[in-house]
A and B are shown apart, each in its own frame.
Chain A
């Protein structure tokens, strides 16, 4: 460890108590200039709390923060920004209706005599963004650019305002592979400029790709600081979980599918998904693979009726059924865990208990409430079966960590005893432990005879649980892999079979 370099930021003995719980227990974090430092840990390990203490969003209850050798005590995020600590969150928190330049300069607009100097601002924005490898028109509204570009703009804004320490809280969670590279190239440039970058993510391969060192948290304590050039990913995972993760068994139990459950013929919607055919059998997991925007989510939504198709038909067990809305799909025992857990999945302020029984209750109708005893029985059953970690069933679901929210949503749908379970990105943004549990759950449900349709951007994951993989490109089905054909490289080859679609990153 390069002890001779003076750390740019040195937080030591940071403690934070919540009523009845110790969130951080004398945590130490040392950031060197020009390094990317990964902050790792399962959900609930204290990563976010630590970041919030560093940026002044939370008041810490103990410890000190030194920035360039001087003790600082930011009381708000504005103050920490002024000190030089900038933060970018997973959900880009810029203003979508304003232009790129306005977003970049919001709060420190270029003015003359109180009037905005729009042209000067656009010019300055263009120069700034060119440094970040973006050649875009800053006079355009933010929303005309992809999430990745928006993320880079958010980074640029944070760096221009702060410029010493940049904290990236899951910046790549909603980006696809190429977009991640765009963000990484920006991070590398910032590293050369001597910034210290804190990188928080659940993707271990990304950690090793971009980071120099890592601090691993578990239950509010630092369990290790490692030089990533000297350790393996297994070491890190072991540190995070505190237990040896069993080597993933890649062997598939015979892809023995049961009877035909659902047949989809020529289902499509103009401008969204080209008409496709798909047959789902009982006891099989069909994976949907493809790049971002290839039609994975759209396919899942069409089958569930979240989006109404303009042609095609669906039949279940040989009988044609009509699905115009999610309610229809639920009546026919379909279930969908949507991609965007926060905006389309959880009902944040309702209790975990209510969230779990929501779909079942909605199907029963309001006039026939589930008896309280039955509600508790269902909720407690799934909390145990899926190992959902919570303080109480009465707590609002938004307070749960990502992985536990996802499990609660799975519980919501399993409680309706579906025949077909559609999962859209079931493991996005959740920690390693919950990730493995959800994959195991998919396997178990398949063995019990459920049909599953799983859309995912994680190749390894698809390979692990799919009995069949349907590959999508440009909103069309372009291939299908079965049995031993299902390997990450085959999927990638199928996706890239033709000239790959130009990703509109700029």
Chain B
């Protein structure tokens, strides 16, 4: 008996890893992967903030933040984004209770707040460009439009994603895949609000103090 066991141990190769890979359910790594995407997006914004920090004072004898920014409009914009964050939170809470109608309603309200944010931002941009404060005017304006414009572009694509998921949810219901997608968009949306904190602080508030 003992001889037989030694033979079998000699025959079988020593194994240093788990042979039977335990089961990975579909989408188990999505949230971590999406988080890492958000962190890389955070690096993009960090570079744009650094660019604005370096070039933000180079007006080239053109308009300065004080001549251009209207803090009341920025405060309104910030309110819109903050409200859209909490309404998306309500959508997630109703999703956990599988109340599809309420989830869709909160998602729609979130989308409307997002649209309002974009509308106000585009109005501001149009007003600035109309006054001659175009991205070509000075390094300050180039870096301003790049930073704030990139954030606005993210919000735009977030809205496209939101509408897509609302259609998906309406057609297929709150399936596991749709819940996972809605959670990813939730992280994306709240992340954009975090970036906006940096924008209104560094660009608008500190710009007015300059």
Asked if A and B are interacting partners, one says no
Q: Chain A residues in contact with chain B, CB under 8 A?
A: none
Which residues of B line the A interface, CB within 8 A?
none
